[in-house]
């Protein structure tokens, strides 16, 4: 795949930058969502409770007591939502399956009404010429499984593989691309370490048990999908571009090694290379014995993948700082400081640095050599309809997306096998612990009326798709 540059342009007051950037033929343009964040209908048609139902209903856990009970009401409005996607020219749509819709208790009887919904959604997408990309797990673990130990126990990994087979049996004749997990780092470190996400546990030992069983669940599910005939199988991670604050300082470089291990190598090495890094095994053993890693597990985790999904939002800069307490969501990072964002930030206070994405993609390509998709990239801004026209002018988001797409183009031009880009997100939605306070969508949602209004960024993105590139 090759990418071309046809001309250059100079913005007023700025330096020259490439213009007329074309992406390779066949580059996939899409948008992404997640089940709990948009569907609503949490008690309809046999769906069981998930850990996010429990977490969001627990006082003090989610901003202003918000829940995903209604969210964007996509469960009832999916036909109109798919028509909206088609109007934007999306070639692909990445969505997740709600495990408690399929198996309300996480194991046992299958809820056919839950499968029926995804059957209808998938057919609607294909009928509009939109290729479905499915994520089997985007954080909404059935509560019954969590009560029995959640991702800290082996049973959940085994149940996940069974669930994957059930979903594939219904949708596999129409869906080509399957990803197992979304951001297992968040599930393990935020769910069991800092407790900022469901299930809200704060226990370093549980973090690493969850890491392993999430990876095991991925490997078992990937093998089950492959055996059943899946054409393309992968996983979506949120790898971090980790840099020492002072590259000439040995202590800062050591801090970066540890954080890179916790964010990146602890997941990527077992998946792609078939073994945990030795330094991460040692790190884990500071908090728990490793008896939960059974003989043969590394080979199971190392099930071949066809694509690596990459979610990227911001880089990380770290330095050695004696006496600094460990970050709750990064066990064992005592003596390490994470630099606060510098320069422009999004509404999440996340640093905007597109070059960090190029750097990360080059590193992943060089170290792991797996074809990649950007499965999430986007920005939250506090935008809303203007009083006169009702339009949503989100220039900041357009600038963010433009910069990161240029970063993707740079990576492709340097030989990275990047095959597509999914903007996060299609529409404003329930943003986990932030509730409805943060808006990532290229489509504005009025949560009272459920009215959808494409923002300026949606029209801009539609034009990018139409020309397969940037002006």
Instruction: Give the active site residue among 146, 183, 353, 431.
Output: 183
pLDDT of residue 388: 81
Cα–Cα distance measured from residue 170 to residue 178, given in angstroms and rounded to the nearest whole number: 13
Q: What is the count of structural domains for the chain?
A: 1
Share of the chain above pLDDT 70, in %: 96
User: What is d(CA 462, CA 29) in angstroms, rounded to the nearest whole number?
Assistant: 9
The reported pLDDT for the residue numbered 17 is 58
CATH number at residue 356: 3.20.20.80
pTM of the complete model? 0.96
Dihedral (C-alpha) 41, 45, 49, 54: value to the nearest 10 degrees?
30
Q: Spot the catalytic one: 39, 146, 353, 376.
A: 376
Active site residue 183: yes
Mean pLDDT for 160-181 is 98
What confidence tens digit (pLDDT) does each residue in 8-50 have? 333 333 345 566 899 999 999 999 999 999 999 999 999 999 9
Average pLDDT, the chain: 96
SS3 track for the chain: CCCEEEEEEECCCCCEEEEEEECCCCCEEEEECCHHHHCCCCCCCCCCCEHHHHHHCCCCCCHHHCCCCCCCCHHHHHHHHHHHHHHHCCCEEEEECCHHHHCCCCCCCCCHHHHHHHHHHHHHHHHCCCEEEEEEECCCCEHHHHHCCHHHCHHHHHHHHHHHHHHHHHHCCCCCEEEEEECHHHHHHHHHHHCCCCCCCCCHHHHHHHHHHHHHHHHHHHHHHHHHCCCEEEEEECCCCEEECCCCCHHHHHHHHHHHHHHHHHHHHHHHHCCCCHHHHHHHCCCCCCCCCCCCHHHHHCCCCCEEEEECCCCEEEEECCCCCCCCCCCCCCCEEECCCCCCECCCCCECCHHHHHHHHHHHHHHHCCCEEEEECCCCCCCCCCCCCCCCCCHHHHHHHHHHHHHHHHHHHCCCCEEEEEEECCECCCCHHHCCCCCCCCEEEECCCCEEEECHHHHHHHHHHHHCEEC
Annotated catalytic residue 376: yes
Confidence tier at 4 by pLDDT (50, 70, 90): very low
Q: What is the pLDDT of residue 326?
A: 97
Partnered with residue 142 across adjacent β-strands are: 50
The residue range of the domain holding 50 is: 4-470
| Residue pLDDT, tens place only, 437-447 | 999 999 999 99
Q: What is the pLDDT of residues 322-334, one digit of tens each?
A: 999 999 999 999 9
34-93 pLDDT, tens digit per residue, is: 999 999 999 999 999 999 999 999 999 999 999 999 999 999 999 999 999 999 999 999
pLDDT digits (tens, 9 = 90+) for 342-353: 999 999 999 999
How many whole angstroms separate alpha carbon 188 and alpha carbon 468?
37
The pLDDT of residue 419 is 98
Q: Which of 305, 268, 62 is nearest to 185 (CA)?
A: 268
Please state, in angstroms and rounded to a whole number, the distance separating the CA atoms of residues 382 and 436.
11
The answer to whether the peptide bond before residue 90 is cis (omega within 30 degrees of 0) is no
State percent of the chain over pLDDT 90: 95
């Amino acid at each position: 795949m090759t990418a071309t540059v046809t001309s250059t342009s100079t913005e007023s007051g700025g330096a020259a930058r490439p213009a007329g950037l074309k992406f390779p033929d066949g580059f996939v343009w899409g948008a992404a969502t997640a089940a709990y964040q948009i569907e609503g209908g949490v008690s309809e048609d046999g769906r069981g409770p998930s850990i996010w139902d429990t977490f969001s209903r627990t006082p003090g856990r989610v901003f202003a007591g918000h829940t995903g009970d209604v969210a964007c009401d996509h469960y009832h409005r999916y036909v109109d939502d798919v028509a909206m996607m088609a109007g934007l020219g999306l070639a692909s749509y990445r969505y997740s399956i709600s495990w408690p819709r399929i198996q309300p208790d996480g194991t046992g009887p299958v809820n056919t009404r839950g499968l029926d919904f995804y059957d209808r959604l998938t057919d609607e997408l294909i009928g509009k010429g939109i290729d479905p990309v499915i994520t089997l797990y985007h954080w909404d673990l059935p509560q019954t499984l969590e009560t029995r130990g959640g991702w800290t126990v082996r049973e959940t990994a085994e149940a996940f593989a069974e669930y994957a087979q059930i979903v594939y049996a219904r949708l596999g004749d129409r869906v080509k691309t399957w990803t197992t997990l979304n951001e297992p780092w968040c599930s393990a470190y935020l769910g069991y370490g800092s407790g900022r996400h469901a299930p809200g546990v704060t226990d370093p030992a549980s973090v690493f048990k969850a890491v392993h069983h999430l990876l095991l669940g991925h490997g078992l599910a990937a093998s089950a999908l492959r055996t059943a005939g899946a054409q393309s199988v992968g996983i979506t991670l949120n790898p971090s571009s980790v840099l020492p604050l002072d590259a000439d300082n040995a202590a800062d470089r050591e801090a970066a090694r540890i954080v890179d291990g916790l964010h990146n190598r602890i997941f990527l090495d077992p998946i792609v290379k078939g073994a945990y890094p030795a330094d991460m095994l040692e790190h884990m053993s500071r908090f728990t014995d490793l008896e939960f890693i059974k003989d043969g597990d590394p080979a199971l985790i190392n099930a071949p993948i066809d694509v690596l999904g990459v979610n990227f939002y911001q880089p990380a800069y770290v330095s050695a700082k004696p006496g600094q307490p460990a970050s709750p969501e990064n066990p064992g990072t005592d003596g390490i400081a994470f630099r606060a964002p510098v320069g422009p930030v999004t509404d999440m206070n996340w640093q905007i640095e597109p070059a960090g994405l190029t750097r990360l993609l080059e590193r992943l390509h060089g170290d792991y050599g797996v074809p990649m998709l950007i499965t999430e990239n986007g920005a939250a801004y506090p935008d809303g309809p203007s009083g006169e026209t009702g339009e949503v002018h989100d220039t900041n988001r357009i600038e963010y997306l433009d910069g990161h797409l240029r970063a993707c183009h740079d990576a492709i031009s340097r030989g990275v096998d990047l095959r597509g880009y999914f903007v996060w997100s299609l529409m404003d939605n329930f943003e986990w612990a932030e509730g409805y306070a943060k808006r990532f969508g290229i489509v504005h949602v009025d949560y009272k009326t459920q009215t959808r209004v494409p923002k300026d960024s949606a029209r801009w993105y539609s034009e990018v798709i139409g020309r397969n590139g940037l002006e």
